[in-house]
Amino acid sequence: MKLSLAEVLEYTVLESDGTACDVLLELVDGPDVVTQYLRDLGVENLVVANTEKEIAQDKAVQYRNYATPDAAVTLLRALHEGQGLPDASQALLLRLMTETPTGPRRIKGLLPDGTVVAHKTGTSSTVDGVTAATNDVGIVTLPNGQHLAIAVSCP
């Protein structure tokens, strides 16, 4: 089965598909390249160290990948301001983040109906009954048209 890059991105963002995420990581030459890209955007304290496949093989590996809430908000701001992406790519990513069905009881689901939220959820693996983190980050469009970047993490 062949998929376009846009379709792989859809699976990654809309469905939190780890295999699709790994395909994207391979296309850009790995996690280290992503982390460097983030540094180039001015995003510190956000590290992509391992693939989803590596995490699945050893649950302890998940702790090598991390982001502070401040780092997540810095990345969201860069996305909103169009830093590091061509206009068409920014528009596609924001559209997918707005359409994502994940996290109905997280940021999007806790705001009034009709509130526009471009967000991405994340949930770590559960080991021995403990889920290390449950996260949601997003850009909320306020009633006055301004935007609010928010990161919620529940370790």
In this structure, what CATH number is given to the domain that contains residue 78? 3.40.710.10
Higher pLDDT, 103 or 38: 38
Compute how many other C-beta atoms are within 10 angstroms of the C-beta atom of residue 20.
20
**Averaged pLDDT for residues 120-142:** 89
CB 127 within 8 A of CB 146: no
Report pLDDT digits (tens) over 8-48. 999 999 999 999 999 999 999 999 999 999 999 999 999 99
Q: What is the mean pLDDT of the chain?
A: 93
Verdict on whether the full-model pTM lies above 0.95? no
Domain of residue 43 covers: 5-154
Structural domains in the chain (count): 1
CB 99 within 8 A of CB 14: yes
